[in-house]
Structure 1
Amino acid sequence: MAIQFKILEKDQIFAAVPLVYKLNDFKVTEDSLSQRFSEMINQNYECAGIYDNEKLIGVCGLWYCTRHYSGKSAEADHVYIDDGYRGQGLGKKFFDWIYNYLINKGFETIELNTYVSNNQSHKFYFNEGFKILGYHFLKKL
């Protein structure tokens, strides 16, 4: 295994779609995800990836903003590591890389949402030092 972490170039962003599709509980189609990614890359968004040689095996979207309660902040989104690579410590290494990347960009905090039913992720994020600050609400318009 030759693992590498890096930010996907805008012209490579659609490589993330099949992995995010596996994560998605809302059953959004891959076509809809592709359309959304084409819009996201023109917003305050980047996508970090885990590569095994040239194969993309994990992703984490990063949304950037300044918030009144946390300062210059990045929000981790759609974190996913391919099933065959789980349980090898890659999540920890990936987040360590992300933390360093964000610190070098001048960010003060990182936050995220995770699905209520994803208990495995809750344990991981608690171990990473994340705290629950509130509830995430969603209303379809």
Structure 2
Amino acid sequence: MQITFKLLNKEEATIILPYLDIMNSQKVPMDLLKERFSEMLDQNYEAFAIYDDAQLIGCFGLWNMTRHYCGRSLEPDHVYIEENYRSKGIGKQLFEWIEVYGKEKGVTTIELNTYVENFPSHKFYNNQGFIARGYHFLKKI
């Protein structure tokens, strides 16, 4: 198993849309999902594919920003690894890679959100050295 992480350009990035749709708990229609994703790619966002050799097995995104309370920051978003590749150390490898990538970009903090009911992710992120610092609130307007 040879795992690699590849930054995708805007044209390539559409290959991860099926994974975004799987994670689409809000049931956003595909046409709107595509529109929003295209807009994200024009912002401070990078889309990545996860490969096992040449086989696409997952995806993730990184938001790049500066925050007043923690400085330059990366925020991993929509991390997805196909089920048959889970619990094989790929997530740990991914977050080690994100940390190195962030340091190369001058980042000092990695932040992320995870759903309250996603208990396996809480354990995973705690094991990677993340600490829960608050709640993420959402209000549709």
For the aligned pair, the TM-score class normalised by the smaller chain equals: over 0.9
Partner amino acid, structure 1, of 2:41: I
What's the counterpart of residue 93 of structure 2? 93
What's the counterpart of residue 7 of structure 1? 7
Which 5+ residue runs of structure 1 have no aligned equivalent? none
Cα gap change, 1:72/1:79 in structure 2, threshold over 3 Å: closer, same or farther? Answer: same
Confirm or deny that 1:58 pairs with 2:58.
yes
C-alpha separation in 2, matches of 1:42 and 1:69: 25
What's the counterpart of residue 80 of structure 2? 80
Confirm or deny that 1:47 pairs with 2:47.
yes
Q: Report deviation, 1:74.
A: 0.9
TM-score by length of 2: 0.94
SS at match of 1:131: coil
Aligned partners of 2:13 and 2:48 also within 8 Å: no
SS at match of 1:139: coil
Which 5+ residue runs of structure 2 have no aligned equivalent? none
Aligned partners of 2:5 and 2:48 also within 8 Å: yes
C-alpha separation in 2, matches of 1:94 and 1:58: 11
Aligned partners of 1:45 and 1:61 also within 8 Å: yes
State, as a whole percentage, how many aligned pairs show the same letter: 55
What's the counterpart of residue 133 of structure 2? 133
C-alpha separation in 1, matches of 2:121 and 2:52: 22
SS at match of 2:33: helix
Aligned partners of 2:49 and 2:58 also within 8 Å: yes
User: Cα RMSD over matched residues?
Assistant: 1.2
Aligned partners of 1:18 and 1:30 also within 8 Å: no
C-alpha separation in 1, matches of 2:102 and 2:49: 14
Aligned partners of 1:65 and 1:74 also within 8 Å: yes
SS at match of 2:11: helix
TM-score by length of 1: 0.94
> When the two structures are aligned, how many residues end up with a matched partner?
141
SS at match of 1:96: helix
C-alpha separation in 2, matches of 1:63 and 1:16: 16
